[in-house]
Amino acid sequence: MRGRVDFVTALVPHVPTEELHFLPRDVLALRASSCARGWTTRATVLLRAAEVAAGWLRPGGVVLLELGGDQADEVTTALMRAGLAAINVHRDGDGQDRAIEARRPSRTGSR
């Protein structure tokens, strides 16, 4: 299956332990699995997910990952290093970065 997948999406842990107290209680209760307990940087798990996902995508395949606040630049760099392009950061209604999308270039260079 490696190199033959059309679409990879993931809601990976992206909130480090030292930032859990910033989350509203209802969010923490509902989304405890998205909290990266024990990770030291916000993007640790996202960076690994970007790297791994890139290897599974076919040419033209897309990866979509949820982001937390200040992770877009670091994850964009990781996606580019992994050979992905057409990177787009999606924002919520408040203008906060919430997801990042990238595409494995097709072999012919077209989208």
With cut-offs at 50, 70 and 90, classify the pLDDT of residue 80. very high
Nearest to 87 by CA among 75, 69, 71, 70: 75
Beta strands in the chain (DSSP E): 5-10, 15-16, 35-36, 57-66, 85-91, 97-103
Give the CATH fold of the 5-12+42-103 domain.
Rossmann fold (3.40.50)
Mind listing the pLDDT tens digit for each residue in 40-66? Answer: 565 777 888 888 999 999 999 999 998
What's this model's pTM, rounded to 2 decimal places?
Answer: 0.76
Average pLDDT of every residue of the chain = 82
pLDDT(10) > 70: yes
